[in-house]
Amino acid sequence: MQTFTVRSKKHEELIDITDRVREIITAQNIFCGTCHIYTPHTTAAITINENADPDVRRDILKGLAGLGLEKIQFSHQEGNSPAHIKSSIIGCSEIIFIEEGAILMGTWQGIFFCEFDGPRTRKVLVKIIGQNPSFRT
């Protein structure tokens, strides 16, 4: 398993981590398998979505803001219940297939770390399960 850090600069943002995940796959010389991406934080998430147009990232955040969670009086005294809920909605992990040494993603897709309670320094864990080229049949 590999771990890397992500540093958010804003209270809420989506940070493209696609290249970092690809580097890990390349370094491990995996030909075929799965890539598991996970963040161990309760106010952050991992998602796959469009990475060609930055407006999509902004629209995702606007859509989540449109839920109006910040207007609700929650019991959690830390004051970040909206971030916890957004993390639960998006989810803390993704799994991507690997074929011929590359992650299988759509043309416009990217992997994003979602910060909902920043700015902070966070961890992303990546575990590759698969075979290297010497195991090909």
Domains and CATH numbers, the chain: 2-132 (2.60.120.460)
E runs forming strands in the chain: 2-7, 13-16, 32-38, 44-50, 93-99, 102-103, 109-115, 121-131
pLDDT of 54 reads: 93
pLDDT of 135 reads: 56
Give the list of residues 6+ apart from residue 57 with CB closer than 8 angstroms, or none. Answer: 13, 14, 49, 112
pLDDT of 134 reads: 67
pLDDT of 132 reads: 79
Digitized pLDDT (tens) for each residue of the chain, 137 residues in all: 999 999 999 999 999 999 999 999 999 888 899 999 999 999 999 999 999 999 999 999 999 999 999 999 999 999 999 999 999 999 999 999 999 999 999 999 999 999 999 999 999 999 999 987 765 55
